[in-house]
Structure 1
């Protein structure tokens, strides 16, 4: 499971794990970091792993570079389809930021 939310969502997500699964902690958009109930992980033989791109570029730059190359290749081939919530002109950047602050956007907010 990829968990960018943390907080309450992490707790719910750990209940959904299969035996031996991993939950990847990507952030805490729900407003609070996850407080792991380790019994959920223990019972399911599961693990929680923190994922931060900055860590990869700092400590394993060759892997980060290979990942970026692979992502660029996938993008060039049209294999990436990000969820775009809203497209706004650059003049509406303040509105776009407010949408993010108010958590109104589901997906990316793109400025053109």
Structure 2
């Protein structure tokens, strides 16, 4: 992480029950600060949001089941976390900010629309 030379956007839910996403993001931030390239990192961290911060208006699920790819397949439960309202707001906010981040970084620094300060 410390040697990263391109902009990076991390979107994490602080109530992620599947993965320690917020803690991992803070570790990445610390590594990048030590290497002097923290200016490349943007962390969007959302209190009471779970693991699946998807585009706005996607159905909210605190947990779901799926089958593994093992032989034979096994049905398992995944805990995603999050609270309905906070998670939904995180999805809307993160989506707007992701689009701005991509616009600013894929157009080579040219100004094409709003920046984070305008949101």
Task: Give me the TM-score of the superposition, normalised by structure 1.
Answer: 0.27
**Which protein has greater RCO, CA pairs closer than 8 Å, 6+ apart?**
2
Name which one, 1 or 2, has greater alpha-carbon Rg: 1
Structure showing the higher helix proportion among its residues: 1
Task: Give me the TM-score of the superposition, normalised by structure 2.
Answer: 0.26
